[in-house]
Chains A and B, each alone.
Chain A
Amino acid sequence: MSRSGPDTARVAATPDADHVLPPAEAMLWAQDLVKTHRGAETATHAVRHVDLRVDRGEFVAIMGPSGAGKSTLLHLLGGLDRPDSGRIWLDGQRVDGLSEARWSLLRRRTVGIVFQFFNLVTNMTAADNVELPALLAGMSPRQARARREELFAELDLEDRARSTPAALSGGEQQRVALARALVNEPGLLLADEPTGNLDSRNTRDVLRLLARYHASGQTILLVTHDARVASGADRVISLFDGEIADDTALHAPADGPTTVADVLRLKG
């Protein structure tokens, strides 16, 4: 089921891999990514030769145990960390060699990121945390405000607009971070455990929002431990020990169970 398989073969067979072009449908294309975290005495091979392709409009989930390298991989793809080797294309553009300044620009328009630990600006209100990146990307204050209000309404955050992050619960901060990532309608949404701190109801709200964006064509790559979140994706990748252990397309929803009997064995 791995889509990267054939591409890898083609690249390997090409004498000059640097002249390979990404497939037109690929929003994100990564080839042979490697990242080792080096400490004073230890070296952690966090990402080991990962090939990954996410097509435009696709929703892909990454699962895997703690320490598997999921966040490291996402950080490489969002330009927050540099790979030791490998190549990355984003929306057709080769990006692995870009400067920090160019990456900042990309993150303003092309990639929206939700971090595992939110990274909100602590001395700004929730509303400003979301509106500022919109203003930086060139939106008018009125537009930015309208966009932000729309997102807050969808994420049940209307009462929290004037609060600073410290006054918000973990789940609320998480949702503000999601609104911030989506405010500029990025081509690619990268999200690291976007429901990690949410209770069941808030998880459901975030899932609905993601489903709605996905339905309108948003490309999404998200890391999650929550199988309910992953089951909303078109494809699920299992990362294990820095490598892709499985990559599977999920069935059309209509093929699923019609009752809970299979799961709970309620019969009898």
Chain B
Amino acid sequence: MRLPLLALLAKEPAHGYELKQALEQTFGAAYPQPNIGQIYVTLGRLEKNGLIKGQDIDQSNRPNKRVYEITDAGREELAAWFAEPTEGPRVRDEFFMKLVLAPGAGGSDRLALINTQRRHYLNVMRGLSRLAAQDRDNRVAQLLIEGAMLHLQADLDWLERCQEELD
């Protein structure tokens, strides 16, 4: 979450709550939203590392709010983030471990493991379809969900390959 917050602050200074709202508006309901506490903790860390700079603003009859802006060091960090390629989601190695090690280890047979996993993926896919239907007008959210669906499809295809090869 460090770098997305930095990216939002590179556009304009903001306080914690505004950042939370900006994340929600940009990514929609499908995105796992950080709570306000996580945001404040992250902002504190970014400030300690000199990537952002905070300034307290007096508010007449409410507690002060702290508005943050990005520093030069912050911009450098952000540029480096945008410049480097991104690691994909990890292979689902835990399931693979189960699948390979189950025979002879007292686990269920492979077909049962594969069926359990496939059922899980299909149900997750069903949930994603429902999410997509809910957030129809948010194009960012739609793309995010579509990405998740394509990953799931790949997982299912791979499950089929496991079934063919390990039979």
Q: Is A265 an interface residue (CB 8 A)?
A: yes
Chain A interfacial residues counted at CB < 8 A: 35
Mask, B105-132, CB within 8 Å of A = 1, is: 0000001000100110111111111110
Instruction: Using C-beta atoms within 8 Å of the partner chain, give the interface range for chain B.
Output: 35 or more
Q: Is A238 an interface residue (CB 8 A)?
A: yes
* Contact flag A256-B122 (CB < 8 Å), given A64-B160, A261-B32, A266-B31: no
Q: Is B85 an interface residue (CB 8 A)?
A: no
Q: How far is the CB of B117 from chain A (nearest CB, A)?
A: 11
Q: Is B153 an interface residue (CB 8 A)?
A: yes
Most buried by A among B89, B111, B126: B126
* Contact flag A228-B129 (CB < 8 Å), given A250-B122, A267-B32: yes
Contact of B31 among A226, A245, A257, A259 (CB under 8 A): A259
Q: How far is the CB of A50 from chain B (nearest CB, A)?
A: 17
Q: Is B146 an interface residue (CB 8 A)?
A: yes
* Contact flag A260-B126 (CB < 8 Å), given A238-B118, A245-B111, A248-B115: no
B32 and A260 within 8 A (CB): yes
- Chain B residues with CB below 8 A from A42, complex form: none
Q: How far, in angstroms, from A200 to B145 measured CA to CA in the complex?
A: 12
Q: Is A133 an interface residue (CB 8 A)?
A: no
Q: Is A170 an interface residue (CB 8 A)?
A: no
Mask, A59-83, CB within 8 Å of B = 1, is: 0000111000000000000000000
A256 and B32 within 8 A (CB): no
Q: With A228-B125, A230-B122 given, name 19 new contacts (CB 8 A).
A: A227-B152, A227-B153, A236-B122, A246-B115, A246-B118, A250-B122, A250-B123, A253-B129, A255-B123, A257-B131, A258-B131, A259-B30, A259-B33, A260-B147, A263-B128, A264-B151, A265-B89, A265-B90, A268-B1
Binding site for A on B (CB under 8 A): 1, 29-33, 89-90, 111, 115, 118-119, 121-131, 144-149, 151-153, 156-157, 160, 163-164
